[in-house]
Every structure is written in C-alpha cells, then in structure tokens.
Chains A and B, each alone.
Chain A
C-alpha cells in the first residue's frame, strides 16, 4: 500500500483539480507542455503539479511548492516558475527576465542584497505551497524577506487572481518578523499560522530510508520489559526516551529531530517517522506480525507486505557495515588540560583528532578544539581529560576485563537478551563498588584541588568508539557530577559510574549491531565544572536540517527551560525549536515549535541570546568545516553542538558551549 499524509485530503484536492479542468468557476488547465519553464497562470491541479517541487525547507512535512516571481518593472507580470528546473528565484529570473527589453538581472550576490529586502526591489518573490495533510493552499515569502504589508498584499492578490485555487488561498507567515508585518494585512487576506498547519498534518519524516522487517506494535512503556530484535519495525503509541536496536520506527506522536530515538535512528541508519493515529491505523494493524518493507521519504511513506524470503535476502545484503574502532592509546597517562589535547601546531585538525581520540575519546578530543577558537565567541568552561589508560587499569586491576571475556563467550549471554541485560547490570554494579587505583585517585583529587577548588565537577563519558564514520555513539553513555567538598557527590563514584556506563545494555546492543569489538572500546572522561542552576539548555545543529540543498542556510536549535532535557523530554513536554538564519540579513528566527514550559507567546531564549548562540555556531561550523565539510547537496555537513545559558559563572557571557561533534545527517 502506498500511503501519503492524508489520502482523503489528497483525493479531495485532486477532485477539485479535475473539476477545475472541467471549467468550474471559469478555470481550466492552461499548460500544454509536459515540462514548461513557467506559466502566468495555474488553471488546474495538473498545471500545479507540472511546476511543483519539494519546498526548499521542509520543516512542515507534506508540502509541494511552486515559486512565484512578480516583475514590478514589467507591469506586475506574474510567473509561476517550474521549481524543479529552477530551484531558486534567481535561476528563473536571470534566465527569463534579464535583457531583451527588460532590466538586466544582476549577479546573485547583488540580487540577494536587494530582492528580498529593498522597497524598490524589482521583483516580489514568494511561493505557493500546497500542504496536503492540511489541504491548504498558502502563499509564502522567505522568512528573511522584509516585504511590507502592502507588498505582501499586492503579491497575494496577484497570485489569487491568477490561480484556480485563489479563492481558498491563505498567507502563511514563515517567521516572527513576517508574522509581525502580516498583522498589518487587511482581513481580506486570510492568514494561517504554522501551528495551524501542523495541526492538519499527520506525517512527519525524521530519518529517511528503506528497511525490511517484521511489523510489531508496542506501547512505549512496554519497551522496558519487551526486547526488540534487529529486524523489527516497531509501531509505538508514544515517543519513548530510548529504544533498543530495531530496523525501523513509527511513532504515533510527532518527534523532534534531535530526540534521542531519532539520533539513534541516524546512528543506525534506520528509517524513522511519525504518523498520527498509527497505533490504531487499521491498514497498519492488518500487517501486524507480517514482514514488510517500510520506506520513509521526505514527503511520503509506504508500508508494503513482502515475503520472509525477501526480508531475509534484504537483510543479508543490507546488514550494517562493521565499524572499526581505533585502538586505545594506553601510552598517555597524564590528566591533560583541554588546551593541550589537540596539537594544531604540528598537525592539521583532522590528524590531531586522529592522534587524540585513542587516548582521550571523541568528546574530549573535539572539546579540545574550543581552545583554538575565540573564547569570547565560543565561551566554554575550562576542562581537562582523564585518559582511557585509567579505565583499562581499573578493568584489569579488578578482573573485569576477564569477566567481559567470559561473558562474550557465554552462549546464553549471546542468545538471551534478558540474561544479557541482567549480566551487564550486575557487571556495572560491581564496577561501581570496585576500588580505584590509589595513585590515580590521589592524582585526580590533587588536580581538582589545585585547579578547581570548591567546585562541583561534571564527569562526562568520552569513548574511543564515537564520532566514527557512520557511528556517532551519541547518547549511549552517561555523565555524573562529583564534588570533593560534598559527601553527597563522591568524586570516585562519579568516575566509576561513567566508566561502568560503557556496559549499559543499550550501548552494548548498539555496538553489537555495528559489529564493534566491545573489548576494543575504552572510556576516557572529560571533566569541567557542572551547571546545577542553568537557565536553559539545548542542542543545535549548524545546518538547516530541513533544507537538503543548502539554499536557505541556517542553524537548527532545540532549547528548553532550565535543565529539562530536550533529547529525553518527559511525555507531553515540548521545547522551543527554531531555525536561525544567521548568515542572512536581518538574521530571522523561524520558530517550528514552542516550549510549553514558558508562557504562551514567550520563548526560552531572547533574540539577543539566539544571536549570541548563532555567532558561536558560526565559529564552530567554520572551524571544523575543513575537516568534516563543506556542506553541499551531495555531502551533508554540520556540527552537533550542546550548549547552556547560565548566569552563575561570570565571564561576560551567559552562554556556555559544552560539546561539538559531527552531526550524522538525516539519512536518505
């Protein structure tokens, strides 16, 4: 079965189009060519489809888009451009509306300085989007466009006049700034908000891809007791905070792109989507227990029954590739300040990371890059790293390495997930109670007393098996606070807890799925002061993750009040999600969702804070670009950045950057 977001709505829309072709209200199709460059009018749904593309930014799933150019220098001529042939306005305008009696369209850099901003701009630029789920036609302008209300109204009326769907056309403000201008529009220009569009949409693509597996239905709470297999495609009633390895996920609730289960899906390369009503969907329920193929696309998905043979053949040829882990470097034994982790005087950044990660793990090594950035732009806490040597020493001195060997050779451990989880739990408890080398303990406490006196510290996992090609290892391990001056936060308990988290069941299963040798993985620790009273915390990606072409560059930010988690939210809790187009004039902030922990109409970050964060993200993105980038339509590049705002630490900024690592992208 092929499913789209809202079949009923689509059918209705098609029906409208067909009726339109029949001449309803005087409209009929006007495009004869199969692949036109443009049309001055849209007379029916067929016309629209011949011109439509996916929207540049797909933050609202299930839309099709036709870009519109209105030439004010030529009597307000209207052009609905073929948005596949000409993905951006400039492509069309420079090809068709330059010279031959018309003013010359300047270079793109000049065009972009005026045509979205100047009151004297030659063109009014926008798009007509059709949101299939909501069955809504909407005229939109770019979120950074500073068109006045008069200009918006003029463009709206021209589009309305020249399209068969004109009478039902809305204006959809795409940013707070556009929304403020839209407040000045007359009542005759109906407005629809992003929230209203979301209400009408029932499909959300999170991680694109194809998978074949057995369809299972589970309640999120059942995941604590039920074990999934690598070959399950699971339909869930809610968004769980964690899920063991499976080959596809469908949640009934919408997710945030940086939610833990989506990060896991990205790590695994497995499709992930949300579909309202999925848990009780009769068509999906009819396939419960069957082998199916799930395809998650940016704008539509499909679930089709297949045979077990087909599923087996697919699995054999699509099993995840083995991930090689760099050997632990046990030659490094000093507690190293973060500004000496990367030797960029000798090596390129990529080479320096290669040298550092086997000793200090991915998190600490990438953190070391902050020392080479402008601290006023990328404020970060002073830190040091405990090398992986002390984890290996701890495992050996307590015989845990031999115990791991025995477990891995135990057939029950390998075959029985319940036994495996119980065995790993027992191992972790024993590790938390085991003694730590006295020499190491003394060295660590001396370091804390000398460099961080009276400060509660955060001990953060940093393995050598993360940020690898195709395996980020994000969210698998744990962090713990420790304070030498507070018996409630024993330092060595924090160290042991972080070390033991390498044997979390979820982490073991993820490594197993990628055929990573568990014995080759070691745990270093990144240490800096803790943030017990933060005002807000969040995660950002230095790309507009809804724009695969890089045409509307921006940074995606997910931020929440206080220490409420953005990646593991409590049920029903939403966070602020926005794109900040930091490199666009006016630096517009486009909200996708709002936190329900702040009063309606307010946001977690002020605009000043969002701009401060934007500057830091720019710097981080630029610093790593030579190693992991650049972003191109064929190569996704972005950095995944954790941050907090906390006014307890002085230093002229409340912003604190805690982590940066390469972001895996969104599949597909």
Chain B
C-alpha cells in the first residue's frame, strides 16, 4: 500500500552549493551543504509516494530509533522476489500482507533466487550510486558504499533531524544516474500506551479492535503501524496501517483475527512510525526515501504465550 503524503510542502527550491566559506551553515533560502563546494544542482522539493514493492530497486532511510539514529540505504540491480509481499486482506486503514516463497524446480543454485514465475534469476546485487550527500539534517553527511555496497552512517545525532526541516538526499550517480530524494523532519514519536494487546477468547476468536494511542504532532506526517509475526525470523505475514497524525487509531478486529490465525509462534512485534516518504525513478528503477521516528510497542496476544500451550 502506498499513500501520498498530505502535506503542502511542494515548494520549489533551488538548492545550490554554497561557497566553501559558509560550509556547515544553514542558508536562509533552502538547502545548504556542509561539504559540497563543487556540487551544483537544481531541484524542486516535492514528496512523492513510496515505490511499489515490485519495482523497488532501492531504498534509503533516515531513521530515529529508540536507542540510536542512522542513515542507510542501498540500490540493487533487481528486486528480491521475497520482498514483494502479497496483499491478503484489507480493512479500514490496514492491510495484511503475506510473504510468498516462490517455487523453482529444479532448485536455484548459488547466487540465484527464485522469482514468482518459477524461474531462477541472479540474486539482486548492490550497485553504486556514487557519493550520497544528505543536506538539512542536524549534521550534513556524505556516504560512500562500504565493503558490501551498502551506504550507512550510524554516527549521527539522535534524532538526526529537526521537525519541519526540509531534507535533501542527492546521489551523484555512478552505475545509476544521478537522483534526488526529499524528506521533511518529523517530531519524535511518543506512545501514550506502549502495550498493545490483541484480546482473544479461549476459542481464539479476537474480541475487539486494537486501539493505539500516541502523542499527536502538527506537520501532516503520516503514522504507520506495523505488526509482525516473527516465527524465528520467518515472518509469514505482516500488517501495515497508515493513519493521520491525530493521536489515536484503530486496527480492526477482523484483520487481527486473520493475522493471529496465521500463527503467533515466536514473538510478535509492533512498531509505530511517524514518517515522510519520497521516491524517484532512476535509470535502473524506483528508489525511495523514508524519514521516520520509530517507537516499538510490546505486542501480546491473549491466550498465547510462546511457552504455554493455548487452551481449547
């Protein structure tokens, strides 16, 4: 599911490299660069939808997590079929997505993976997008691919952005042509109640909707909730919901029923994100940027404990 950010932030901005003398300072008229005394580019600030999963060749994220923050991303020469989650059920603002493992006969060899047509394809590999600069954060950063081709910087302030600040990611281009991605800083997210309980009766029927509450913020960012069944990392289904930033939302019990029927072996997790999205078409395919502040809820399911057999 993708959703357009309901912001009025489509402001035309010409971000130009500043003279080296003002490096590190924020310009009054938009983006400045702490390090780019040679880059010049024109870019109109606008947020777009997230890439469709089947065309998502790359993703960057600027994340404010409970214990740290970081900027990371990668672009590949293909789409890993296992990351294309399939819609299973939809209700309210939520969607249940299922991971489907494609079947290949004969089995795929080393360095290959199976696509949804049952064909073995090369496992998507990282490609270089050149130097990646991110402007508008509390501290501008410049990224080069690491030994395995990922872009990552964990040495950033936490949170790495200020609410409402316009942020620009610029990839200089290498195996992929130059591209830009935009984001807007968001308020740090705070849950009102960090215990999410899916209430079931002894017949394992979900009894009520799940109400979640957080401290709302202005700015028009989107709230995304995810519920995942871990099953030791297999995670057969995940639930994704998108809400307006009003401070409360409801996950329908009909969807929770299906979600729990997929089994809750192992440890389920719930996360809430306040975020903005952007995406762009590159010479390879779609690449997106997610800026977010994330909090984790303690998700539990009544009549289920990983170490207790449910009654029947």
Contact = CB atoms under 8 A, between A and B. Distances in A.
Interface residues on A, range: 35 or more
A589 B107 contact: yes
Contact of A99 (B80, B154, B236, B262): B154
Contacts of B236: 583
Interface residues on B, range: 35 or more
7 contacts: A75-B147, A99-B68, A111-B233, A181-B109, A583-B101, A585-B113, A632-B265
For the complex of A and B, list the 8 residue pairs with the smallest distance between their C-beta atoms, beginning with the closest.
A350-B312, A181-B110, A112-B233, A148-B110, A630-B265, A108-B233, A109-B235, A148-B111
Nearest to B70: A104
B204 interface: yes
Given A626-B204, A629-B309, A180 B109 contact: yes
A120 B148 contact: yes
A611 B103 contact: yes
A180 B234 CA distance: 25
Contact of B109 (A102, A146, A627, A633): A146
Contact of A634 (B114, B228, B307): B307
Interface in B169-203: 203
A491 to B, nearest CB: 37
Given A108-B230, A113-B80, A118-B123, A103 B150 contact: yes
A631 interface: yes
Given A349-B312, A583-B236, A104 B152 contact: yes
A102 B236 CA distance: 29
Contact of A629 (B103, B107, B125, B265): B265
A622 interface: yes
Interface of A: 72-75, 90, 99, 101-104, 107-109, 111-113, 117-122, 146-149, 151-152, 176-178, 180-181, 184, 348-351, 550-551, 553, 582-589, 606-608, 611, 622, 625-627, 629-635
A588 B113 CA distance: 12
A555 B237 CA distance: 20
A611 to B, nearest CB: 5
A67 B310 CA distance: 34
A184 B112 CA distance: 15
B234 A112 contact: yes
B105 A622 contact: no
A632 B109 contact: no
B109 A177 contact: yes
B235 to A, nearest CB: 4
A627 B303 CA distance: 12
B26 interface: no
B43 interface: no
B307 A635 contact: yes
B21 interface: no
Contacts of A112: 233-234
A237 B307 CA distance: 41
A632 B304 CA distance: 12
A103 B312 CA distance: 45
A428 B108 CA distance: 55
Contact of B312 (A102, A348, A633): A348
B99 to A, nearest CB: 9
Contacts of B265: 550, 625, 629-632
Interface in B51-110: 68, 70, 72, 74, 76, 80, 82-83, 101, 103-110
